Structure 1
């Protein structure tokens, strides 16, 4: 049994690995040079981890980043995702070592790209990000971090300093066997497009965003 394996032995089921490592290659980026370690998860989804420097088993600076086409690729100002991705890569390089797990299948907090766009349209009509998902008959947050935990275990990481403002991510990774030694804030200054979205995350999803208190006060 490898480090990435979380078994299905209960009930006599045969063991199935959470993720399978497929490729490990050098990836130079504008942030620095990483190892890109590619995986397949149980659903056949392609996943990737970016590893910088010599990582340790304990206390590795880590970002588990949910896929966001509109933010990461198209530079949408509706969310903070693209800026968080860039900031996390910069922090890892500044630290000298660390891991960023880029979790595919998490678009729109797990509802998919087209559903996310529909939810964004409802937000333009006045709903917040929570009520928009509910109005579509979809979960507020459908993300699962099992594969991300399996990737970290495969890389030999047992505890992390997690770059995240999301307590649910901390709870899930802990449940899947990754110890969180520290939750490190990853705060991005809001803009007029993102402020309402971020306030909803803080007020209705318990994200730790203390910097929003004075943002655009009186606007």
Structure 2
């Protein structure tokens, strides 16, 4: 794995006073946001990029709520958020918008991906183990509902899975049900 790693920088934010470090993997640049007082067994959130949710506040998903919750928790507990550049379950922004258009026609999130020729979830998480090893972290408390994330982290002991369940709304209720019923998310 050929990874380019940035220097460490300070990142004061509305969620806390953090340190940041970037990891460039091919054309993807991931960001690690972590507490200045990183715990020995930190709470870690692996968060995949969602421009529409994270930055614009889309109500079609729970991504922004999860990211904000994770950043607050990282600040309060000495934790870390690994922000992976895997927009739209790694189908990219253009295809994500096309999937949204199919969802507007009645397809669910998985069916829309299949209509576009993708699997339900194209993401991978190998970089997470690399990042945790870089920080000499061998035990974590993983903030997730996604069994794929749990199963993909190797060489690092997950001592606890912490659920991250956000309130649904009229726009994301079906999406969350599909994640639970068809993708095995523990919500």
The interval holding the TM-score normalised by the smaller chain is over 0.9
Q: How does 1:73-92 map to 2 (within 5 A)?
A: 73-92=55-74
Q: 2:180 aligns with which of 194, 199, 202?
A: 202
CA distance in 2, matches of 1:144, 1:179: 18
Corresponding position of 1:55? 38
Give 3-state SS (helix, strand or coil) of 1:23's partner: coil
Q: How does 1:121-136 map to 2 (within 5 A)?
A: 121-136=101-116
Give 3-state SS (helix, strand or coil) of 1:139's partner: coil
- What TM-score do the two structures reach when normalised by structure 1? 0.82
1:155 aligned onto 2:139? no
* Residue 44 of structure 1, CA deviation: 3.6
* Residue 152 of structure 1, CA deviation: 1.4
Corresponding position of 2:80? 99
Which range moves more in the overlay, 45-54 or 126-135? 45-54
- Pairs aligned (count): 187
Q: Deviations over 1:69-94 (max 9, x none)?
A: 00000100000001100000111112
Q: 2:12 aligns with which of 17, 28, 34?
A: 28
Contact 1:111 1:139 in 2 (8 A): no
* Residue 56 of structure 1, CA deviation: 4.2
CA distance in 2, matches of 1:163, 1:98: 10
Contact 1:149 1:178 in 2 (8 A): yes
Residue ranges of structure 2 left out of the alignment (5+ in a row): none
CA distance in 2, matches of 1:122, 1:148: 31
State the 4+ residue runs in structure 1 displaced beyond 2 angstroms.
53-57
CA distance in 1, matches of 2:14, 2:22: 20
Give 3-state SS (helix, strand or coil) of 2:6's partner: strand
Q: Deviations over 1:29-78 (max 9, x none)?
A: 0000100111212x142111011033245x21100100000000010000
The structure with the largest alpha-carbon Rg is 1
Give 3-state SS (helix, strand or coil) of 1:92's partner: helix
- What TM-score do the two structures reach when normalised by structure 2? 0.96
